[in-house]
Structure 1
Amino acid sequence: MSSIDPRHSLFPERLRKLLDGLYLGAGWLAGVFLIMIFVIMLSLSAGRPLGIDVPAGDDFASWCMAATAFLALAHTFRSAELIRMGLLIDRFSGTLRRLIEIACTTIGAVAVIYFAWYAIDMTWVSWKFNDVSMGVIAVPLWIPQIGMSAGLAILAIAFVDELLHLLFGGVPRYQKPKVESPDEIVQRVMESGV
């Protein structure tokens, strides 16, 4: 197995930019849905005292919340912001740690591909049978299900991308480098919003 420079990508520069753009775009779209939740909730809260009803506002807010959560996953994964349980893996180094990282990423990729497959299938079946919501406003269910399906599909791509990167000698990009000074600890705490 040949080794590559761990700072570089296995993929050509154009494909790397496309994939990174896909992850970033999904993150931005998740942010748009987060703003939509804010607008809907503000409309619901401000509308009550004024006697203004927002039909199915709770339904739309919950669909936006699901889209926000799933679309943000790939960007969060690639930004090394997902919560990792490093208690065990951090005790190892060298080849053994590398093999554990590859095994964990493989298990993660298989799990995410499985969930993405069934989410896409669920969305397809909803579209095929024209399932609609049971709320005040009948909305075809495939529309709100797209956020979950797309988010899981993009996360599956990110996991496969990372697995290939690891298999060809790259260092994990889903974890931040170890902290080397007290100033870095303070910086990390400030970045995390703690």
Structure 2
Amino acid sequence: MRTLLDLIYRAMAWLSMLGMAAAFAVVALGVLARQMDWDVPGLDGYAGYAIAAALFLALPATFQRNEHIRVTLLMEKASMRWRGVLQVWSLLSASALCAFLAWYCVRMVWMSYTTHDISQSMDATPLWIPQLTMAVGATGLALACVDATLSHLLGRPFFQHAPAGEAARVE
């Protein structure tokens, strides 16, 4: 199971990289189009979709590598007993919030699909298509949070990389 989850996080990171490359390509095409006096409708929208895809698809791998910004001031001041309680509370809270975000994103994709919602720009892109990457990324983050919570409760390592001076498994 660990191998499958790691593969999912890695695949989403690669898809995120493709999103960044797509954003670069679309922006470069926009610059070229302006220089050549071409009218390519929707390029700004597509660049935004690609950037949003890159951002959301990178969330699970970034979380697994312990590279999200964390405020640990309270945990650093707490005793070892309370630090463990705070860690479990933080992981459970993150899991619940990310599960809600994932549910909302999936619901938004379904609503856009069933109502045939399209972008307001000239390209009239069905919005469920770019929203799908957001839902996949949010679902991946929720999965990673639940994975981290269960790993912590079972005493198994989850984070691949730790910040300087910190163990890979948060104590």
TM-score (norm 2): 0.91
SS of residue matched to 1:88: helix
8 Å CA contact 1:40–1:57 kept in 2: the answer is yes
2:69 counterpart of 1:87: no
5 Å-filtered alignment, 1:116-131, equals 116-131=102-117
8 Å CA contact 2:53–2:134 kept in 1: the answer is yes
Structure 1 residue aligned with 2:11, among 15, 25, 34? 25
SS of residue matched to 1:133: coil
State the 1:54 CA deviation.
Answer: 2.2
TM-score (norm 1): 0.80
Number of residue pairs the alignment of both structures matches: 166
State the 1:124 CA deviation.
Answer: 0.6
**Cα distance change on mapping 1:175 and 1:103 into 2, 3 Å:** farther
CA distance in 1, matches of 2:50, 2:68: 21
Q: How far does the alpha carbon of each residue in 1:40-70 deviate from its partner, in whole angstroms, 9 at most, with x for none? A: 1111112211112222000000111111111
CA distance in 2, matches of 1:173, 1:75: 10
2:44 is aligned to 58
1:42 is aligned to 28
Structure 2 residue aligned with 1:154, among 136, 140, 143? 140
State the 1:174 CA deviation.
Answer: 7.0
Q: Runs (4+) of structure 1 moved beyond 3 Å?
A: none
CA distance in 1, matches of 2:130, 2:163: 37
Structure 1 unpaired stretches of 5+: 1-14, 181-194
CA distance in 2, matches of 1:177, 1:81: 8
CA distance in 2, matches of 1:24, 1:143: 22
Structure with the greater alpha carbon radius of gyration: 1
State the 1:71 CA deviation.
Answer: 0.7
CA distance in 2, matches of 1:18, 1:178: 28
Structure 2 unpaired stretches of 5+: 167-171
CA distance in 2, matches of 1:146, 1:133: 14
8 Å CA contact 2:92–2:149 kept in 1: the answer is yes
5 Å-filtered alignment, 1:98-137, equals 98-137=84-123
1:164 is aligned to 150
Which protein, 1 or 2, shows the higher relative CO under an 8 Å CA cutoff with sep ≥ 6?
Answer: 1
1:7 is aligned to none
State the 1:178 CA deviation.
Answer: 4.4
